[in-house]
């Protein structure tokens, strides 16, 4: 497996692969890889001749006071996992390589207004900008994103359609720990006690999936899920929302396919989880 730190290196590998007629799959990540990332890499390896994993803690998607500095990093372990899963190239640039006093950004309206977008202003602008750059740098045929970050997946699909990127976006299911907690690099922040408390997110998802029915009021669903979280003293709800799948607008009643998404603080750690309801 190759490692690249510069855009020029990636471009030169990509040029050779393209000349050989090879298809390229891209897995964008912020590193500190776990089996959730691994599932994306495996799928990319199955479906493409070449797999590029980007491993970059993207500074412009973090807001002031967020965890950019403390975000966990372990590039050596990431390299091992990528190599073991059959990736061909890991792209690990420094922030200066990606951003040289930029004047340009890719922004999104409507889909980024609610859910995490309303809680983290500028976050999806940072995500759309870095993902656009990665699409241009790697010239990938397919890119793999997790359903865990459901709003991000919707936004990237819409960005690709709106801006005519010539790439297929592949969504991949949420990978969970044995007890149900969605895998996340941020789980490493949790103390032993917090790790136990964090299970309330999955409990709330399960409760939601059990009781959701067509045409029920969204408020009833949110109340039931809120009660599960509030039963855990270490947890503080950032939001629990039920939105449609076209514009990610709040639904009053579950009368169409819906995304039920939440963000919950466990101590200082903000975790997310979600499920889809297809009617
Ligand atoms: P991150 O490194 O957190 O930015 O995540 C990189 C990619 O991995 C994103 O597309 C995430 O949605 C995906 N991902 C992270 N955690 C999981 C998980 N538990 N299951 C599936 N995909 C995940």
Query: Could you tell me the pTM of the whole model?
Result: 0.98
Query: Do 190 and 182 form a contact (C-beta atoms < 8 A)?
Result: no
Q: Which of 137, 172, 207 lies at the terminal end of a domain, its last residue? A: 172
pLDDT over 70 percentage in the chain: 100
Mutational pocket test of ligand 1: of 25, 29, 68, 205, the residue with most ligand atoms within 8 Å of the beta carbon: 29
Q: Hunting for tokens 């891209």 — which residue is that? A: 26
Q: Which two tokens stand for residue 73?
A: 């990093």
Number of residues in the chain: 279
Does residue 165 form part of some domain?
A: yes
Those residues with Cβ within 8 angstroms of residue 186's Cβ, 6 or more apart along the chain or in another chain: 67, 72, 269, 270, 271
Residue with the nearest Cα to atom 10 of ligand 1?
A: 145
Assess whether 142 and 7 both reside in one domain.
yes
The count of other CB atoms within 10 Å of the CB of residue 115 is 27
How large is the average pLDDT for residues 26-35?
98
Is residue 279 one of the residues assigned to a domain?
Answer: no
The residue whose CB lies within 8 Å of the most ligand 1 atoms, and thus the one to mutate among 44, 92, 149, is: 149
**Residues 61 and 85: beta-carbon distance below 8 Å:** no
Helical pair 150-162 and 123-138, crossing angle rounded to 10 deg:
60
Residues 115 and 205 in one domain: no
Asked if residue 19 and residue 145 are part of one domain, the reply reads yes
Q: Give the model's pLDDT for residue 279.
A: 83
Check residue 72 and give its pLDDT. 98
Residue 90 lies in a domain: yes
pLDDT tens-digit readout, 124-150: 999 999 999 999 999 999 999 999 999
Dihedral sign of CA atoms 43, 21, 88, 150 in order: negative
Going from the Cα of 148 to the center of ligand 1, the distance in angstroms, rounded, reads: 6
What does the pLDDT look like over 59-110, one tens digit per residue?
A: 999 999 999 999 999 999 999 999 999 999 999 999 999 999 999 999 999 9
What's the CA-to-centroid distance between 149 and ligand 1, angstroms? 7
- In the set 34, 37, 92, 123, the catalytic residue is 37
In 3D space, the residue among 160, 65, 162 whose CA is nearest the CA of residue 121 turns out to be 65
What per-residue confidence (pLDDT) applies to 160?
A: 98
Asked if 48 and 160 sit in the same domain, the reply is yes
Give the confidence band of 173 by pLDDT, cuts at 50, 70, 90. Answer: very high
Q: Give me ligand 1 centre to Cα 272, in Å.
A: 11
Q: Would residue 36 count as lying in a domain? A: yes
Q: Based on the number of CB atoms within 10 Å of its own CB, is 274 exposed (0-12), middle (13-18) or buried (19 or more)?
A: buried
6 lies in the same domain as 139: yes
Whether residue 253 is found in the same domain as residue 137: no
Is the domain of 38 the same as that of 102? Answer: yes
Query: 113 lies in a domain?
Result: yes
Separation CA 79–CA 2 (nearest Å): 9
Known active-site residue 37: yes
> In a 3-state reduction of DSSP, which class is residue 171?
strand
The verdict on residue 152 lying in a domain is yes
Inter-residue contact 172 to 251 (CB < 8 Å) = no
Is the pLDDT at 47 greater than 90? The verdict is: yes
118 and 235 fall within a common domain:
no
Atom of ligand 1 nearest to the CA of 183: 19
Domain containing residue 233: 185-274
The single residue listed with the structure tokens 């103390």 is 191
- Atom 7 of ligand 1, residue of closest alpha carbon: 29
Which protein residues touch ligand 1 with a CB less than 6 Å away? 29-30, 36-37, 39-40, 145-146, 148-149, 172, 174-175, 182-185
How many C-beta atoms lie closer than 10 Å to residue 100's C-beta? 7
Neighbours of 162 (CB within 10 A): 11
Residue 102: per-residue pLDDT: 97
- Tell whether 189 and 260 lie within a shared domain: yes
Quick check: is 178 in a domain? no
Give the mean pLDDT of 192-197. Answer: 98
Task: Give the end of a domain, one of 113, 148, 172.
Answer: 172
Same structural domain for residues 22 and 136?
yes
CA distance 30 to 126: 13
Q: Is the pLDDT of residue 255 over 90?
A: yes
C-alpha 105, offset from chain centre = 19
Task: Tell me, yes or no, whether 93 lies in a domain.
Answer: yes
CATH of the domain at 204: 3.30.1300.10
Number of domains in the chain: 2
- Does 232 share its domain with 258? yes
* pLDDT for residue 50 is more than 90: yes
If one counts every other C-beta atom within 10 angstroms of the C-beta of residue 184, the result is 24
Same domain, 107 and 210: no
Mutational pocket test of ligand 1: of 25, 31, 36, 183, the residue with most ligand atoms within 8 Å of the beta carbon: 36
CB 98 within 8 A of CB 133: yes
**Separation of 179 CA from ligand 1 center, angstroms?**
18
Which residues, including other chains, have CB under 8 Å from residue 221's CB and lie 6 or more apart?
Answer: 208, 211, 212, 242, 254, 260
Cα–Cα distances in angstroms (integers) from residue 27 to residues 96, 142, 144, in the given order = 21, 9, 5
The continuous run of DSSP H or E covering 133 comes out as helix 123-138
- Read off the CATH number of the domain in which 9 is found: 3.40.50.620
């Amino acid at each position: 497996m190759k490692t690249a730190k510069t855009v020029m290196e990636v471009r030169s590998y990509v040029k050779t692969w393209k000349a050989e007629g090879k298809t390229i799959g891209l897995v964008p990540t912020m590193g500190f890889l776990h089996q959730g990332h691994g599932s994306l890499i495996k799928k990319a390896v199955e479906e493409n001749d070449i797999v590029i994993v980007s491993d970059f803690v993207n500074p412009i998607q973090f807001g002031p006071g967020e965890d950019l500095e403390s975000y966990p990093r372990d590039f050596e372990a990431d390299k091992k996992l990528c190599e073991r899963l059959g990736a061909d190239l890991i792209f690990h640039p420094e922030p200066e390589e990606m951003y040289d006093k930029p004047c340009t950004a890719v922004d999104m309206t409507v889909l980024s207004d609610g859910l995490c977008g309303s809680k983290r202003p500028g976050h999806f602008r940072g995500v759309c900008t870095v993902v656009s750059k990665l699409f241009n740098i790697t010239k990938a045929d397919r890119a793999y994103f997790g359903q865990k970050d459901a709003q991000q997946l919707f936004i990237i699909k819409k960005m690709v359609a709106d801006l005519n990127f010539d790439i297929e976006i592949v969504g991949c299911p949420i990978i969970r720990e044995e007890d149900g907690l969605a895998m996340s690099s941020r789980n490493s922040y949790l103390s032993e006690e917090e790790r136990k408390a964090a299970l309330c997110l999955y409990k709330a998802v399960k409760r939601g999936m059990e009781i959701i029915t067509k045409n029920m009021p969204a408020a009833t669903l949110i109340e039931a899920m809120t009660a599960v979280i509030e039963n855990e003293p270490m947890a503080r709800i950032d939001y629990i929302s039920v939105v449609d799948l076209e514009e990610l607008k709040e639904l009053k009643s579950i009368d169409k396919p819906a995304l039920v998404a939440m963000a919950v603080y466990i101590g200082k750690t903000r975790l997310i989880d979600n499920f889809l309801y297809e009617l």
